[in-house]
Structure 1
Amino acid sequence: MTEFNEALARAKALLSREDAERVILGLAGPPGSGKSTLAARLAVEFGDTAIVVPMDGFHLADVELARLDRRQRKGAPDTFDAHGFVALLRRLREETNHIVYAPFFDRRIEEPIAGAIPVLPEHRLVIVEGNYLLCEGAWSPVRHLLDEAWFVQTEAVLRHGWLRDRHISFGRTPADAQAWIAATDDPNARTIEATLPHADWVFDNTPLEVDPQ
């Protein structure tokens, strides 16, 4: 069984539970590991019953990061609205009879957009993906709100290549992209990798070599 087929089987098993009115599946992992790509592939397999809700929608706006003097660390755990993210997960768990709107992070403008993702009552599988799903502190309630949490693991060399290409595609020079990876992405990755023991399963993304978006 390929790694993706096993992931698909695990997701189907979660949905097959008799008490599963809605399943919230979490995909954690360091920047550039392929979380978004895996989430999108799974959602395609489940069609209209699945929706992807990225944690990135809870980035603080640049104006707030500037006020907090955290703009240069954008992407670190304290540059997100963790409490707001937890509140959304609780709503997704409890409010299944009407639309719940989630925010989306638009990389073209590097800002979150409120109310951009409609989670409908028929969305029985909600795939949440993000860096800090398994972290402690303000993030600690997240783990308890997930039916299952997977850790998406990719070799650092491959991740760095994907991250460099992503940063360049959104306007950074190659030198700036490399500097951002060293100063921001890698320290965040070390924090995230320490949370791997909290995952139910590790998805080894390296053999797939699918460039994450």
Structure 2
Amino acid sequence: MPIVIEASQAELVERARALIRPGSRHLLGIVGAPGAGKSTLARALVDKLTPDAVLVPMDGFHLANAVLEDLGRRDRKGAFDTFDAAGYVALLKRLRGGKDDVVYAPEFHREIEEPVACALPVPRDVPLVVTEGNYLLLDSGAWAPARSLLDEVWYLGPDENVRQARLIARHEAYGKSPADARAWALGTDQRNAELIAGTAHRADLVVRPRD
């Protein structure tokens, strides 16, 4: 079972710093439901630990909207089967292998709601890769190998009311009406959140943010 802690961002930066060992590479995963604060924490860690850390979000493996339309999954974008899970796992294997001078990872651009290939360079000499996303701990299908490729995984568990309010605000900021933002957050996003919460026991650490 994971250790459950309350921690500030500064304390988590120091915990991540302990994974940096020159001459080797470690992968840190940050997991949580939509709106849990994964991206914010991951960026903060990398900002504090640069040049020894780089961020590679799972969201770069969103399937393109046209593909989701063809599959009939556009109305639940963000669900576990709307990503290229096998592609994400293959990237983690390359990042662990350390054989390439540079690995280029994709990046999701929320303003256009599409991934962009080869947008994030990861040089071989960077010792810590921080990756964040919803399904790093899922133990089924093509997602299953991801957990074993990560040296440490933190599950973010903020207050549910705070998480949902943050998520609704984010959807509004990217163009949804207040009614549509609330419906998506409490519908599609909430179903995903419940699935993700069921994977928390596979984390090394469950974090209750303190700041």
Q: TM-score, normalised by structure 1?
A: 0.92
Aligned to 1:87: 90
Aligned to 1:211: none
What secondary structure is seen at the aligned counterpart in 2 of 1:31? coil
Within-5 A mapping of 1:136-147: 136-137=139-140, 138-147=142-151
Question: Which of residues 154, 158, 163 is equivalent to 2:158?
Answer: 154
What secondary structure is seen at the aligned counterpart in 2 of 1:15? coil
CA contact (8 A) 2:29 2:154 kept: yes
Within-5 A mapping of 1:1-213: 2-16=7-21, 21-137=24-140, 138-205=142-209, 207-208=210-211
Per-residue deviation at 1:96? 4.5
One-letter amino acid matched to 1:43: V
Between the aligned partners of 1:103 and 1:46, the Cα distance in structure 2 is: 21
CA contact (8 A) 1:26 1:150 kept: yes
Between the aligned partners of 1:104 and 1:3, the Cα distance in structure 2 is: 27
Cα RMSD, aligned residues only: 1.5
CA contact (8 A) 1:59 1:80 kept: yes
Residues 5, 78 of structure 1: CA spacing in aligned structure 2 closer, same or farther, 3 A cutoff? same
Residues 67, 2 of structure 1: CA spacing in aligned structure 2 closer, same or farther, 3 A cutoff? closer
CA contact (8 A) 1:26 1:128 kept: yes
Per-residue deviation at 1:9? 2.6
One-letter amino acid matched to 1:148: E
CA contact (8 A) 1:3 1:203 kept: no
Does 25-34 or 6-15 show the bigger shift? 6-15
CA contact (8 A) 1:7 1:203 kept: no
Between the aligned partners of 2:48 and 2:111, the Cα distance in structure 1 is: 27
Per-residue deviation at 1:15? 1.9
Per-residue deviation at 1:12? 2.2
One-letter amino acid matched to 1:24: L
Between the aligned partners of 1:53 and 1:180, the Cα distance in structure 2 is: 26
Q: TM-score, normalised by structure 2?
A: 0.93
Percent sequence identity over matched residues?
Answer: 49
Deviations 1:74-106 (A, max 9, x none): 000000000000000000011354110000000
Aligned residues: 205
Per-residue deviation at 1:153? 1.0
Between the aligned partners of 1:151 and 1:26, the Cα distance in structure 2 is: 8
Deviations 1:118-145 (A, max 9, x none): 0112321100000000001121100000
CA contact (8 A) 2:19 2:128 kept: no
Per-residue deviation at 1:59? 0.3
What secondary structure is seen at the aligned counterpart in 2 of 1:48? coil
Moved beyond 3 Å, runs of 4+: none
